[in-house]
Amino acid sequence: AQKITQTQPGMFVQEKEAVTLDCTYDTSDPSYGLFWYKQPSSGEMIFLIYQGSYDQQNATEGRYSLNFQKARKSANLVISASQLGDSAMYFCAMRENAGNNRKLIWGLGTSLAVNP
Amino acid sequence: NAGVTQTPKFRVLKTGQSMTLLCAQDMNHEYMYWYRQDPGMGLRLIHYSVGEGTTAKGEVPDGYNVSRLKKQNFLLGLESAAPSQTSVYFCASSYSGLAGEFSLGEQFFGPGTRLTVL
């Protein structure tokens, strides 16, 4: 069964340092997509970055990059040069491309605190 | 573009009361979703819709009903509210992509509705 695991309930990082948030997934579908969302304390869900299972290169979006290791079924989010505004919950999600509903399977999230 | 909007933002109900949460999107998305978020539980899918006039059950559908009479609106109903339905409810929508067109299909979220059932 498809599953997303985020093993770090909470993480701390010093401002301006890089941090890696872990995400492992389980699926039997060869075609899938992986998403990361940010949820600040204000509550909104913000889409950050996407990685497709057939993408040859790791996805990058500004200070966000995805360390995609397909054989290990991991899709870790790397935030470079952390800022105070990066303090938030971060959710990893997966979509299996089989089927026609675009449903996402969600991890339980990692709470990131950036210290000044 | 307003994106995805939800009405109301906050609501307090008594056990047994009913209410409807309204979700509206102006992005012409085919797919719409209702989630609930509880502490330590992440996001759980309640119901979803792949197009106007269609709905389907998600992971935790019991106690909820939905309707998608118009493409831009997705309504979530609680017929007889229970304290276990105290939660933050999120609506989301996504684009299906035209035939042959690649689409990330990322979900766009509304701001959420905080519901308390006493």
Give the three-state DSSP class for B94: strand
Q: How many Å apart are CA A116 and CA B66, to the nearest integer?
A: 45
Closest residue in A to B34 (Cα) is A103
Percent of chain A topping pLDDT 90 = 84
Report pLDDT digits (tens) over B30-89.
999 999 999 888 899 999 999 999 999 999 999 999 999 999 999 999 999 999 999 999
Per residue in B79-88, pLDDT (tens digit) is 999 999 999 9
Q: Touching check for A66 and chain B: CB below 8 Å?
A: no
For A46-97, what is each residue's pLDDT tens digit?
Answer: 999 999 999 989 999 999 999 999 999 999 999 999 999 999 999 999 987 7
Contacts of A100 in chain B (CB under 8 A): 50, 96
* Among A94, A84, A66, residue whose Cα is nearest residue A5: A94
pLDDT of B35? 98
- B60 touching A, CB under 8 A? no
Are A78 and A64 spatial neighbours (Cβ–Cβ below 8 Å)?
yes
- Dihedral, CA of residue A24, residue A30, residue B30 and residue A48, to nearest 10: 30
Average pLDDT, chain A: 93
Q: Do A103 and B58 touch (CB under 8 A)?
A: yes
- The four Cα atoms B32, B36, B37, B38 give a dihedral, to 10 degrees, of -170
